[in-house]
Structure 1
């Protein structure tokens, strides 16, 4: 299978799962025994950098998902620090900041979070495991990224970093209510 076809198949599978997840809002996280992933991104169009809570939400929206392999990926213990605005570096940043408006400032980010990856409890049980211990955790302690304004006038924020060792057979995080 060519890389192009494989990439399309993965993207199509992810999109189908994401759409299915949106159709069952409120029931999605319950399937794994936890909260829903943040998949509905706010269209924040403010001229100034959004408030910290909005930045956290934009990051969660960029990273949380239900994968095509039927795993729920959540961001927990999130900490983001925002740096001073700097000019966009043009073509060098277009791959890491999709749809970015190259005439607008970029705000660098540093932070950390814990990945929580949960498998469907039914699948864990079928595999002989304890369905109440269907999640794993791994810390990302030194992440970097940016917040930027898109050419459509909305804000986006994302970071990446190296994941530390994974601890498995853990209960899912409690739903936030």
Structure 2
């Protein structure tokens, strides 16, 4: 996969994934229902972005978000089609919070496949820093918060142990 943060988007029903197959922590694949009346803080945004981004792919990779940092902008009106990103299920009558921040993609391969190709199965992950990410948090038509971010990733460096 190309080293661009927009990759790894999980679309469809969230399914719990067991990270132990990769020797890693479980990815956050099921979003908590955080009501629109709840004030957003960095912990809530971290959880909501992780559940949008983390996944096990069809190509047998585990994508995790680590070292996440975020700044949450003040509430502003929804811009409709002029938004930076698609805001699925958004209630356009509700305010949006712009986000900026950074994280490290950790992409793990099956340790058995790494060993088969001559690599160290205990170092089956690569890392790529997303240093200038942007995104937003919005209220859905179901009255819950949803957040997502995207940005360019640095070249992936390989040979890292999985996060636990």
- Give the TM interval when normalised to the shorter protein: 0.7 to 0.9
1:164 counterpart SS class: coil
Instruction: Output the TM-score relative to the length of structure 2.
Output: 0.87
Give the corresponding residue for 2:3.
none
How far off is 1:31 after superposition?
A: 1.2
Which of 71, 79, 96 does residue 86 from structure 2 map onto? Answer: 96
2:76 counterpart SS class: coil
2:37 counterpart SS class: coil
Give the corresponding residue for 2:149.
159
Q: Greater helix share, 1 or 2?
A: 1
Aligned residues: 155
Instruction: Tell me, yes or no, if the aligned pair for 1:94 and 1:100 is still in contact at 8 Å.
Output: no
Tell me, which stretches of 5 or more residues in structure 2 are unaligned?
A: 1-8
How far off is 1:92 after superposition?
A: 2.9
Which of 132, 136, 160 does residue 142 from structure 1 map onto? Answer: 132
Between structure 1 and structure 2, the one with the greater Rg is 1
User: Larger relative contact order (C-alpha < 8 A, sep ≥ 6)?
Assistant: 2
Instruction: Tell me, yes or no, if the aligned pair for 2:84 and 2:135 is still in contact at 8 Å.
Output: no
How far off is 1:15 after superposition?
A: 5.8
Map 1:74-85; keep pairs closer than 5 Å: 74-85=64-75
TM-superposition CA deviations, 1:72-121 (whole Å, max 9, x none) = 00000000100111100123339611111100000000000000000000
Map 1:39-50; keep pairs closer than 5 Å: 39-50=29-40
Instruction: Tell me, yes or no, if the aligned pair for 2:56 and 2:63 is still in contact at 8 Å.
Output: yes
Give the corresponding residue for 1:121.
111
Instruction: Output the TM-score relative to the length of structure 1.
Output: 0.81
Q: Give the Cα separation in 1 of the matches to 2:140 and 2:95.
A: 11
Q: Output the aligned Cα RMSD.
A: 2.0
Instruction: Tell me, yes or no, if the aligned pair for 1:77 and 1:113 is still in contact at 8 Å.
Output: yes
1:84 counterpart SS class: strand
Tell me, which stretches of 5 or more residues in structure 1 are unaligned?
A: 1-10
Q: Give the Cα separation in 2 of the matches to 1:133 and 1:84.
A: 41
